[in-house]
Structure 1
Amino acid sequence: MMATTHVFAGLAIVAPIAYARPEFAVPLAVGAILGGLAPDFDLVGVHRRTFHFPFSGLAVAAPAAAIAISVPSSGTVTVAAFAVAAWVHAASDALGGGPEMDPWNDRSERAVYDHVRGRWIRPRRWIRYDGAPEDAALAVALAVPVVLVFDGWISAVVLGGVAVSLVYALVRRELVAWVPDWLE
């Protein structure tokens, strides 16, 4: 899935809390945005293995959420939103395709690494590849409740992210030809 889809998923998860507790809207959004992006920093390592924790991430997300519920503060809700969004990102990568640049030509059977079992989880391909039409549709669907709950710069970032997502989805298949050989 696209990075924007992961960010919108994290924001959609925290949107009901931000609606109920608007004083925490910004810390929740910051945590969800950063957590939705963080696992993909492993692009410089082994993508979908180095910073993706689809099962063990829950061991961090659940206590972080429990602490935020017990002791709500800007800090605890930011950390909880980050941990939950990062875990959901890692877990949801198994619903898509593999991490290859051209999944329509070279289909990998490695979606995301399971550190608990020490093996790769196979891709489900509900979303065939990042930037697929169904990925763009999911991104837009996840962005709707976010834009309805959040305002100001958060809403602007989400609307900008929707625009980027749609443009990316339109050119995704052509991007492979633009990527230098050393990046593949």
Structure 2
Amino acid sequence: MMGVTHALMGGLLGASSMFFTPELFLAAVAAGFLGGLFPDLDLAWKHRESLHFPVGYTVLSSVLIGAAAATGNYYVVLASYFTASAWLHSWIDILGGGLEERPWEGTTDKGVYSHSLDKWFPPLQIIRYDGAPEDFLLTVFLGASLYPLLNGYPEAQKVVVASVIIGGFYSLVRKKLLDARDFLLKFFHSLID
């Protein structure tokens, strides 16, 4: 799934703070949003392996949620939303496509790596690939759900709208990006040769 899909999902998870710690609402939404993005920072290394920890985040977020409920500490509460969103991201990626360059082809059995179990969870391809039309529809749904909850926070609402717009643009160009890259590589190779 797209990073913005995960971020909006995390932001919506953070919005649940309105029932538990309403005084931390906006900070919890931000922590959830950032936690939803965090695992995809491993795009620079081994994607869905370096920062995706489905089992590890499950344990860590459980401990932090328990500590947040027991203490009410500001930082522990925000850390619990951040890690719970990273946990959700890591598990939800299993519903998407695999790690191949063109995930819509469905040629790999690598979805998300579990360090704890030392194995790859296979991609279920319910959302066929990041940027697929169904991924964008999920982004729109999440954005439409989160936006009204942020009434009174216009800057946060702008982040939600920008996330949906970015998701829409990415969905439009997703399959064309690899073709453009291949064209540019051939072009530069022809200049060198």
TM-score of the alignment, normalized to the shorter chain, above 0.5: yes
Q: Partner letter of residue 167 of structure 2?
A: S
Percent of paired sites with the same residue: 33
Q: Partner letter of residue 144 of structure 1?
A: A
- Greater helix proportion: 2
Q: How many Å apart are 1:177 and its aligned residue?
A: 1.4
Match of 2:156 in 1: 154
Q: How many Å apart are 1:71 and its aligned residue?
A: 2.0
- Identify if the C-alpha distance between structure 1 residues 85 and 63 changes in structure 2 by more than 3 Å, giving closer, same or farther: same
Structure 2 gap segments, 5+ residues each = 186-193
Q: Distance in 2 between matches of 1:18 and 1:117?
A: 35
Q: Distance in 2 between matches of 1:62 and 1:23?
A: 22
Q: How many Å apart are 1:72 and its aligned residue?
A: 2.1
Secondary structure of 2:129's aligned partner: coil
Structure 1 gap segments, 5+ residues each = none
Which range moves more in the overlay, 20-29 or 42-51? 20-29
Q: How many Å apart are 1:155 and its aligned residue?
A: 1.3
Match of 1:177 in 2: 179
Q: How many Å apart are 1:101 and its aligned residue?
A: 2.7
**Cα RMSD, aligned residues only:** 1.6
- Identify if the C-alpha distance between structure 1 residues 179 and 66 changes in structure 2 by more than 3 Å, giving closer, same or farther: farther
Match of 2:188 in 1: none
Secondary structure of 2:36's aligned partner: helix
Equivalent residues of 1:27, 1:74 under 8 A apart: no
Equivalent residues of 1:35, 1:82 under 8 A apart: yes
Normalising to structure 1: TM-score of the pair? 0.91
Residues 81-120 of structure 1 mapped to structure 2, 5 A cutoff: 81-105=81-105, 107-120=107-120
Match of 1:57 in 2: 57
Residues 64-83 of structure 1 mapped to structure 2, 5 A cutoff: 64-83=64-83
Between structure 1 and structure 2, the one with the greater Rg is 2
- Identify if the C-alpha distance between structure 1 residues 56 and 21 changes in structure 2 by more than 3 Å, giving closer, same or farther: closer
Q: How many Å apart are 1:74 and its aligned residue?
A: 2.9
Secondary structure of 1:120's aligned partner: strand
Residues 103-142 of structure 1 mapped to structure 2, 5 A cutoff: 103-105=103-105, 107-142=107-142
Q: How many Å apart are 1:47 and its aligned residue?
A: 0.6
Q: How many Å apart are 1:106 and its aligned residue?
A: 5.8
Q: How many Å apart are 1:19 and its aligned residue?
A: 5.9
Equivalent residues of 1:35, 1:84 under 8 A apart: yes
Q: Distance in 1 between matches of 2:82 and 2:181?
A: 31
Equivalent residues of 1:29, 1:154 under 8 A apart: no
- Identify if the C-alpha distance between structure 1 residues 50 and 69 changes in structure 2 by more than 3 Å, giving closer, same or farther: same
Quick one: higher RCO (CA 8 Å, sep 6+), 1 or 2?
1
- Identify if the C-alpha distance between structure 1 residues 149 and 73 changes in structure 2 by more than 3 Å, giving closer, same or farther: farther
Q: Distance in 1 between matches of 2:92 and 2:49?
A: 13
| Deviation string, structure 1 residues 6-44 (Cα, Å, up to 9, x no partner) | 011111122232366432122202211211111111112
